[in-house]
Structures are given as structure tokens and as C-alpha cells.
Amino acid sequence: MNLTDNLVEIFIVPLAIACVAWTVTHEEIFREPREWAARKSDKASSLLKRKFFYLFTCEYCFSHYVTAFFLIITGYQLLMPGWRGYLIAGFAWVWIANVYMSLFGLLRQGLKKERIEANIKDIEYKDIQEEAQEN
């Protein structure tokens, strides 16, 4: 595989990893299983069980397992052949996927802030209109 293909794969596959990890750990469709896992991670009897269930609530933790899955199905190795290439690729993908998730989180937070500010302005505008109608 040439350097260009490596660079494309190192930035494209983490998009899918980030998508899966974010969806499972943040989105509404997985809310009930995630809440169940959160309760289990707080109250499970053994440390191993608590840590296992915690991984479904943390996008960073979960991204490692999603990355392992993608490494298995793609066979992608970075810079070196064999297990060392898998290890380097895995950590690179995890890091890039988490950068993508952080950027997405900031974007969503910014959009949410703008939406809240717009709602506040709408309420203030309606209050001003009501005052004007009363006078």
C-alpha cells in the first residue's frame, strides 16, 4: 500500500469509528441501553463488570473497541508489517476518531448555544410586543 492510500485510510476510517462510538455513547436511540450500562457500571459487584459496562458510556473507551473491530475487518497496518503495524494503526485511528468526536461535540454545543440564544431573543421580542400592545 502506498503512502497516499495510507493517508486516506488513516483519516477516513476514523470517521466511521467516531460515528459508531458517538452514536452508542451519546445519541437517543441507545439511551436506554446506555442508562442500563451506566447503572451496572455504578453498582456491579466486581471491578471487571463495572469497567466492562462503563465502556458503553464513554466515547473514548468505546472507540478503542470499535477500532479493534475495524482493524480486524480491514487488516489495516500502519508503517510496519505485522502486530506492530496493527498497534500503530489502532492508536492512530483512536486518536483521530476522538479528535473528530471532540470537534463534533464542540459543533453541537455551539449549535445548541445558538438555539438557546435565539429562543431567548424570541421570548424577549414577544415580551416587547406584548408591552407595546398594552400601551
Q: pTM value?
A: 0.73
Q: Please write the tens of the pLDDT for every residue from 80-104.
A: 889 999 999 999 999 999 999 999 9
> What own/partner pairs with CB < 8 Å and gap ≥ 24 does 57-60 have?
57/25, 58/25, 59/21, 59/22, 59/25, 59/26, 59/98, 59/101, 60/98
| pLDDT at res. 79 | 82
- Give the SS3 label for residue 1: coil
**pLDDT computed for residue 8 by the predictor:** 80
Q: Which alpha helices (H) appear in the chain, and where do they start and end?
A: 3-26, 31-43, 47-54, 59-74, 83-134
In a domain, 135, yes or no: no
Asked if residue 134 belongs to a domain, the reply is: no
Domain count, the chain: 1
Residue 21 domain boundaries: 3-106
| Cα 1 to Cα 16: distance, rounded to the nearest angstrom | 21
Is 17 among the domain residues? yes
Residues of the chain with pLDDT under 70: 1, 135
